[in-house]
Structure 1
Amino acid sequence: MVFVHKFELQGQSGMLVIGYDLDEFQTYQLNAESITLLLLTVYLMGTIIYYQHLIRNVAEPLGIMTDIAFKYSRNDFSKRITFESYDEISGLGTAMNKLGKTLQATMLMNREERELLNHLFDSLPSGILYFDQNFQLKLVNGPGQDFLDFWRRVDPDAEAKAMPHQFKEMVQYAFKTTAGSEADLSWSQRHYNVKVTPVIQADLQKTTGVLIVLQDVTNERQLDIIRGDFITNVSHDLRTPLQMIKGYSEAIIDNIAESNDEKIEMAQIILDETTEMNKMVNNLLDLSRMQAGYVDLNRQNVDLADFFDHLASRFENSFKEAAIQFTYELADGIKTYTFDEEKMNQVFYNLIDNAVRYSAEIGKRRKKFIHITIRMDDVLDNVIFEVSDNGIGIQAESLPFIFERFYKNDKSRTYSKQKGTGIGLSIVKTIVEAHDGEIEVHSEPGVGTTFLVRLPFHAV
């Protein structure tokens, strides 16, 4: 290749001619391009290697940590981050692992505490209900739900209400005044003590809901009534014989009785009334002693036919007076039973005595009966003593309390034969349970009553 350049210098013209080998230039150019390509290749390879390093040591761990963080948010702590190197990313991963362990331990502790609180909440004997500002039920425990179920059964309009109207008045008062209230409320012969407490959010200083605590006090109310009836019964049952004893004693002292026979008759009346009062006091003492756990059983093998024949003889006059037919029936294979004869005599004496006292009036039954059946229950492995009658029966509302101390089914004194303190069936239940047995009652007013005494078969 040749370059030519014309020029003039000091009035003279000239020409500069430069020539060089083109092959050498092309060689140089090729070498420069090769070096440039090589450098670009090295740079690209370095970039790729660095990018792979970033992916392997930064992006992938960050992606893994992101996935694990989402798992943590779903309470899944089964995964942990593992490392192939130790750098800033590994430090972050170590922190996340520690965070996961701490969260897992905290969640486990919170779950255990929550389960414990739920268990305690549901185990509380009182019903608990929490209503928000819109009168919507947000929280309820087992007894509280039992109350709501009961209320919906007895209130025909309950389905259209969030709560009983008595509750609503107390809840509205709590929202209006931020003060609690307490009341005794009743539904269908059940009684509840109800306490309403406002729940106040401290930072907002406003009532966010109300907590209702209700306690079923039906049994307590019933026991109060029973105790009152007991005092009335005992007062009546003691006053009458005491007046008779006083009157006849004065008659004897003042020589009102003219003959020896009259004095003996009066003395016999005094003795009979004293015996009845002594029996009443002994029954009360026996019941207190037995219910305190002091029951000594003198178990012996008893011939059941002789046992019930003896019982029938004690009621012979009562059966004739009330026109009652008494029968008993022993199933095949059951001739004797091992129990405390004196105490079980008390059990069946009370059951038969109740059947006589609460038998139907003469003329209301074509035939009055008391029948005792002794049979085996092969399913429950028990011997059953079934005492049935066709007397006046027991009201359904009285059945749950029939074995309570001092409870009387018929509180009226229409019939003088229905006197008593109401402890007979309590004594019966205590003696049966001391023999590892159970007693239950089935009755229909106007039809009759059946008592089932179940005793374990192994004692036969």
Structure 2
Amino acid sequence: MAAATSAGKTAENMMSHMPRETRSEADAGLGGLHRFGSASESLFRRLYLRLSRQRAARPASPQARQQQRQSSQLDRLRAIFASLEEGIIMQDTSGKVTMMNRTGEAMLGGKRNFWGSALGTLFEQYRHVQTTSAELVPLGEAAELPLNNRIVRAQLSAIGDEDNRRIGTVIILRDVTHDALALRLKDGFVAHIARELSNPVTVIKLAGELLSAQPEDAAVNQRLLDKLLRNVDMLDQLALELLDIAQLKAGSLDVARQSLRVEAVIWSVVNGMEAALASRGIDLLVMTRGISAAQVLGDDKRLQWALGHLVRNGADYAREDGYVAVAARGQLRGGKRYVLVTVSDNGIGIKPVDMPHIFERFYRGDASAAVQAPRGLGQGLYVARAIAEAHGGFLTAESREGVGSMFTLGIPQISASA
């Protein structure tokens, strides 16, 4: 009802600017405004009746003046509907569309598309209803329907007269595309978390059982122990990512503020990942220029996590015998000095359709072409950008499909004496 309340206020605000003598009729119709979304029973019923009377009126002089007054009032009511966020479609008992506001037309793509859309099917389900128990009665539950490349929540209601006879129909439409997609993405994200957690947990459990079954005086199985520790690290990374996502949702991502040498942060990440990438035939190149003394104020653990994710992401999508290059330099931007760390690869690149969404929460692009199935929750870029921004910096991306990608992490530089 939040959207309905907002739309109702829009209509009321619009009416407040009308001359007092011309808005009394519309005021009366807005008395029960929020009961059925953005329009009340009386407003719909009286608008519908006026539409019918306007078509039936004769051009006799007194009637013409009355028709002119009704037309003026009708125009004001139409103006109110035009300002609403919801789509409004009114029909007679045969289904003919008698009024559609601008929002409804935009959602439908034009009046002519009504019967070819899911709304036509929805009307047909209740065509047989002839009587009503009130002036405006919902017909069934609100339904989510595909409409003109949108997802729309539609509520069909019958309009009744004083004798409870159905004299028309009104359909209230609300665009819920974003909400519906977000819910689906969120559900997919939760399922992905379960899969990502199950893999290292299974390995840890098996390794633990094997180590437990060994005699106490047996030599340590270093290979098994390394596998166990690697999977513990995976769980640690997942836990940190989940924690950051939760803090971002609450708007409370806290980062430590300590003086850090950027070169030391870079080499900590590189030294921790070089062997793993080499085992996959991927070269990890490092190029720094004039930043040996460059310092930033920030959170060492989170900056390493963000940079490490960019390197790991490049490796996952790198070509066989490809490379991931980490380069750093200083740059002056808008009178402020930044340390820029770029991570580039010669991998498969990012599809143009995915590019505008790669930093969005819950968005996970097509990973089918990755050389190695990406690990993690698929929220790394979302979290990495948030970490950069929490440091007063930024994270940007450039990519060409089939050529490779480059991510640039910028963090404000501080003086060595700070």
TM above 0.5: yes
The verdict on how the C-alpha distance between 1:195 and 1:437 changes in structure 2, with shifts beyond 3 A counting, is farther
The verdict on how the C-alpha distance between 1:211 and 1:246 changes in structure 2, with shifts beyond 3 A counting, is closer
- Superposition deviation, residue 353 in structure 1: 1.5
SS class of match (1:419): coil
Give the aligned residue type for 2:350.
I
- Does the CA-based 8 Å contact 1:132-1:210 persist in structure 2? yes
Cα separation, 2, equivalents of 1:442 and 1:290: 24
What is the match of residue 434 of structure 1? 390
Which of 272, 289, 293 aligns to 2:251? It is 293
Give the aligned residue type for 2:100.
K
Task: Please say if 1:168 is aligned against 2:130.
Answer: no
Cα separation, 2, equivalents of 1:356 and 1:306: 21
Cα distance per residue 1:98-138 (max 9 Å; x no partner): xxxxx9543488899999x97997574xx423244432553
Task: Give the helix-richer structure, 1 or 2.
Answer: 1
- Does the CA-based 8 Å contact 1:175-1:198 persist in structure 2? no
Which of 312, 321, 325 aligns to 1:353? It is 312
Cα separation, 1, equivalents of 2:26 and 2:391: 46
- Superposition deviation, residue 411 in structure 1: 5.7
Cα separation, 1, equivalents of 2:100 and 2:155: 17
Which of 184, 190, 204 aligns to 1:245? It is 204
Cα separation, 1, equivalents of 2:412 and 2:115: 47
TM-score, normalised with respect to structure 2? 0.62
Give the aligned residue type for 2:121.
E
| Structure 2 unmatched runs, 5+ | 1-17, 31-74, 131-137
TM-score, normalised with respect to structure 1? 0.57
Which of 1, 21, 27 aligns to 1:106? It is 21
What is the match of residue 317 of structure 1? 275
SS class of match (1:276): helix
Counterparts of 1:339-350 in structure 2 under 5 Å? 339-350=298-309
Cα separation, 1, equivalents of 2:246 and 2:296: 27
The verdict on how the C-alpha distance between 1:169 and 1:435 changes in structure 2, with shifts beyond 3 A counting, is same
What is the match of residue 390 of structure 1? 346
The verdict on how the C-alpha distance between 1:109 and 1:432 changes in structure 2, with shifts beyond 3 A counting, is farther
Which of 397, 404, 410 aligns to 1:448? It is 404
- Does the CA-based 8 Å contact 1:311-1:349 persist in structure 2? yes
Counterparts of 1:112-261 in structure 2 under 5 Å? 122=83, 124=85, 127-133=86-92, 134-135=96-97, 137-141=99-103, 144=104, 147-148=107-108, 152=109, 161=113, 164-174=116-126, 176-177=128-129, 180-181=139-140, 182-186=142-146, 190-202=150-162, 205-231=165-191, 233-255=192-214, 259-261=218-220
- Superposition deviation, residue 260 in structure 1: 0.6
The verdict on how the C-alpha distance between 1:192 and 1:204 changes in structure 2, with shifts beyond 3 A counting, is closer
What is the match of residue 227 of structure 2? 269
| Structure 1 unmatched runs, 5+ | 1-102, 153-157
Cα separation, 2, equivalents of 1:159 and 1:215: 17
- Does the CA-based 8 Å contact 2:357-2:363 persist in structure 1? yes
SS class of match (1:278): helix
Cα distance per residue 1:347-401 (max 9 Å; x no partner): 2221221111122344xxxx54445565444499988655443322334554565
Q: How many residues align?
A: 339
Cα separation, 1, equivalents of 2:335 and 2:156: 49
Q: Share of identical aligned residues, percent?
A: 19
Which of 423, 430, 436 aligns to 2:379? It is 423
What is the match of residue 4 of structure 1? none
Give the aligned residue type for 1:435.
H
Cα separation, 2, equivalents of 1:376 and 1:443: 24
- Does the CA-based 8 Å contact 1:376-1:384 persist in structure 2? no
The verdict on how the C-alpha distance between 1:164 and 1:369 changes in structure 2, with shifts beyond 3 A counting, is farther
Task: State the Cα RMSD in Å.
Answer: 4.7
The verdict on how the C-alpha distance between 1:351 and 1:275 changes in structure 2, with shifts beyond 3 A counting, is closer
What is the match of residue 97 of structure 1? none
Give the aligned residue type for 1:391.
G
The verdict on how the C-alpha distance between 1:146 and 1:356 changes in structure 2, with shifts beyond 3 A counting, is farther
Cα separation, 2, equivalents of 1:358 and 1:396: 16
SS class of match (1:245): helix
- Superposition deviation, residue 413 in structure 1: 10
The verdict on how the C-alpha distance between 1:360 and 1:200 changes in structure 2, with shifts beyond 3 A counting, is farther
Compare relative contact order (CA 8 Å, sep 6+) and give the higher one, 1 or 2: 2
- Superposition deviation, residue 317 in structure 1: 2.3
SS class of match (1:260): coil
Cα separation, 2, equivalents of 1:379 and 1:175: 68
